[in-house]
Amino acid sequence: MEISNVSMKNKEEEVETDETVDNILAKLEKVKDPVGDVYRYRYQGFWIQEFSIKGLISLQTRFVARNEDILLASCPKSGTTWLKSLVFAIMKRTDLDFKPCTNDNNNSPLFTTNPHHLIPLLELSSLPIENMMPRIMNTHIPYSSLPPSIKHSDCKIVYICRNPLDVFVSHWHFSHKFFGDSIEPRHLEESFDMFCKGIHAFGPFWDHVLGFWNASLEMPHKILFFKYEDLKRDNVFFIKKIAEFLGFPFSAEEENQGVPKEIERLCSLEHLKSLSVNKTGKYSIGLFELSNSSFFRKGEMGDWMNYLTPQMAERGKKLIQEKFGQSGLMFNF
């Protein structure tokens, strides 16, 4: 494909590359979302919006992972913001300027910066933060489409997944933030129908999750896979597990000082949500600008019960059983 030499091209030729991407898009199957003026394109087996496909193509051709890199991966609305804050706090905990600390001594950047600004979304910026050591980045790109250097280097991947029905409901609310009053009740049913057909942000959900799940079974040293629900049930246990997996375990002294507990508090939904940066700040996604507050809502397990009809829930559960039944991965309802 012409795009493969993109990094060596001059500015004029890069315009040509953009056109080539547009040519690729023009050939893809696309479906309009029931909510807002959004199209999803089927690219390499997954339903992705235009700006993310452009970012993904650019990544696949330009990005070179390093052995010490850390990649946080997820299907949107599975706990990405939480994971970003936790991994940032874990990895920066010994740096004096970044120490987690409590409100009495609030020198962690998490007090003043939204986690999405601390850890870039690769397909959006295509750039890790170079002066951050190790480089920590995040992606919603499915496992099968990751740049080869991520798969073949020693770079570590931490994947978070969540009950699919809660993911759907969380995404539904997120769409509200974008399109507000233009949403009608029938859109919930239409959106759910599409979700069940696999047409969802970086869907099919089950293919996204199973891609990383299966890879984590093959390469447990490279991919740490866990659930939002488990993280909620025992946050400190997983904070320690993540630290260990990333090669930066807590010392006995740190444990005695209660550092993992401090990180739990710092990164809790209640705490992050209460910070002025997350109440008033802005974040850009593609052509949209949204408030940082859109990333913090309820964070409850089973919130789907408040929105899905019994028929919708039944259909969802059946589908999940069908898609995940053989995998060994279970979701509780």
Residues that are catalytic: 140
User: CA-CA distances (angstroms) from residue 188 to 264, 278, 295?
Assistant: 34, 27, 20
Compose the 116-135 pattern: x for residues touching ligand PAP by CB under 6 A, - for all others. Answer: --------------------
Q: Based on CB atoms, which residue is closest to ligand PAP, 23 or 284?
A: 284
User: What is the rounded distance in angstroms from the CA atom of residue 263 to the CA atom of residue 101?
Assistant: 8
Q: Does 170 bind ligand PAP (CB under 6 A)?
A: yes
User: Which DSSP string corresponds to 54-78?
Assistant: HHHHHHHHH----TT-EEEEE-TTS
DSSP string, 290-317: EEGGGG-S---TTGGGGTS-HHHHHHHH
Name which of 49 and 81 has its Cβ closer to ligand PAP: 81
Under rule CB under 6 A, residue 77 binds ligand PAP: yes
Asked if residue 292 binds ligand PAP (CB under 6 A), the reply is no
**Shortest Å distance, C-beta 178 to ligand PAP:** 11
Which range touches ligand PAP (CB under 6 A), out of 3-11, 22-30, 267-275, 309-317? 267-275
CB 176 within 8 A of CB 114: no
| CB closer to ligand PAP, 116 vs 240 | 116
| Cβ-contact 94, 248 below 8 angstroms | no
78 is a site residue for ligand PAP (CB under 6 A): yes
Q: Which of residues 216-235 bind ligand PAP (CB under 6 A)?
A: none
- The neighbouring-strand residues paired with 47 are 42, 203
| Binding residue (CB under 6 A) for ligand PAP from 168, 195, 226, 296 | 296
CB of 227 to ligand PAP, least distance (A): 12
Distances (CA, A) of 133 to 68, 98, 106, 300: 9, 13, 21, 33
Size of the site for ligand PAP (CB under 6 A): 22
Nearer to ligand PAP, 241 or 297 (CB): 297
Characterize 194-224 residue by residue with b for buried, 16 or more Cβ atoms within 10 angstroms of its Cβ, and e for exposed: bbbebbbbbbbbbbbbbbbbbbbeeeeebbb
267 lies in the site for ligand PAP, by CB under 6 A: yes
| Backbone torsions φ then ψ of 128, nearest 5 degrees | -75, 165
298 binds ligand PAP, rule: CB under 6 A: yes
Residues of this chain that bind ligand PAP (CB under 6 A) = 74, 76-82, 85, 166, 170, 173, 267-269, 272, 295-299, 303
